[in-house]
Amino acid sequence: MQKRKLGNGGLEVSALGLGCMGLSFGYGPAVGRADGIALIRSAFEAGVTFFDTAECYGPFVNEELVGEAVAPFRDQIVIATKFGFQDGDSKNPSDCRPERIRAVAEASLKRLKTDRIDLFYQHRVDPNVPIEDVAGTVKDLIREGKVKHFGLSEAGAQTIRRAHAVQPVAALQSEYSLWWREPEQSVLPTLDELGIGFVPFSPLGKGFLTGAINPGTEFASNDFRNVVPRFSEANRKANAALVDLLGEIAAGNGVTRAQIALAWLLAQKPGIVPIPGTTKLHRLKENVGAAAVELSAGNLAAIESALQHVQIAGERYPAHMQQRIDR
């Protein structure tokens, strides 16, 4: 798989990464440990060198899974993990005090079985801690060799600028896909100006863009899509127009909907590295195959034109989660 650079600090990763959250957390029952390890190792064998986790995925167990899985090839890959929530639980308030960031770094290093964190993200902006203090703390961890690069997640343009002035930001991670394009308004231009990479999470619309989810799909009781407005039965029905559109484009190119959605992201800018997640080996192979799909200028223009006629229904987060997004 081709490589891409995130930011101007020499961080090079595979064009597609693997979002590991769903192996342990968020999308129903966790996979068995052996199965999770096997999937991560299969991703590496397929050319993936960028693996995304966080202390709050579980909490904690996802980092342990990733650490064990990548141990045989640790020096050939990039691990991204995150800090930002009280006691490492995403249901709790933000906690990005310097002492907390340091404690998370030490705990994550142990769980990941490594001596450095390649990319350390602030998971959500903490309204109670100046971003300069957050960036300064990570800068110190970088000086100490415990962290290699600094990242932000779901941060707005002004916060990115303030952080970057203290410690260069290698990458911003935020949701971006064919059904969520808000980053194009102010965030992407800011990243271009400052030389910061972009890591889209949920690049397949939390599975919706694959076509595998329909109005009758029932999610597991602990699947957070149950509370996401965009996944209500009525909104799934309304949003089927986008899935149908992707199906037509995919058929015309001899690929799948997921591959079109990922190829579209890759075609936007050279510093974009999507991190689709999956628990299934056949989906992993499908996603990896998207890195070889090249959309022509005509394809991209047709997609853009068609999207003008598709109205996406439903908010991407419930209100209590939306409040955590930095503007």
- Tell me which DSSP letter residue 18 carries: E
The pLDDT, as a whole number, for residue 327 is: 76
> Which residue range(s) make up the domain with 111?
3-208+265-293
Tokens of 11: 């961080």
Kindly state whether residue 66 falls inside one of the protein's structural domains: yes
pTM for this model (two decimals): 0.97
Q: Is residue 53 part of a domain?
A: yes
Phi-psi region at 301: left, alpha or beta (left = phi > 0; alpha = psi -120 to 50): alpha
Nearest to 122 by CA among 107, 112, 132, 114: 132
Examine residue 192 and state whether it is found in any structural domain, yes or no.
yes
Using an 8 Å Cβ cutoff, are 171 and 148 in contact? no
DSSP designation for 183: G
Please give the tally of structural domains in the chain. 1
Residue 278 near residue 38, CB atoms below 8 Å: no
Q: Rounded distance, CA 308 to CA 234, Å?
A: 21
- Residue 126 has a pLDDT of 97
pLDDT for 324: 87
| DSSP state letters, 243-288 | HHHHHHHHHHHTS-HHHHHHHHHHHH-TTB------S-HHHHHHHH
* CB contact set of 41 (below 8 Å; sequence gap of 6+): 69, 72
Which residue numbers in the chain have pLDDT < 50? Answer: none
322 domain-assigned: no
Q: Is residue 242 part of a domain?
A: no
Q: Would you state the pLDDT for residue 101? A: 98
Evaluate whether residue 122 is within a structural domain.
Answer: yes
- Residue 282 sits at φ, ψ, to 5 deg, of -70, -30
Q: Quick check: is 231 in a domain?
A: no
Give pLDDT tens digits for 138-170: 999 999 999 999 999 999 999 999 999 999 999
**Is residue 187 a part of any domain in this protein?**
yes
pLDDT for 323: 85
Residues 100, 122: Cα–Cα separation, whole Å:
12
Q: Which residues does the annotation mark as catalytic?
A: 57
DSSP conformational letter for 72: G
CATH number of 122's domain? 3.20.20.100
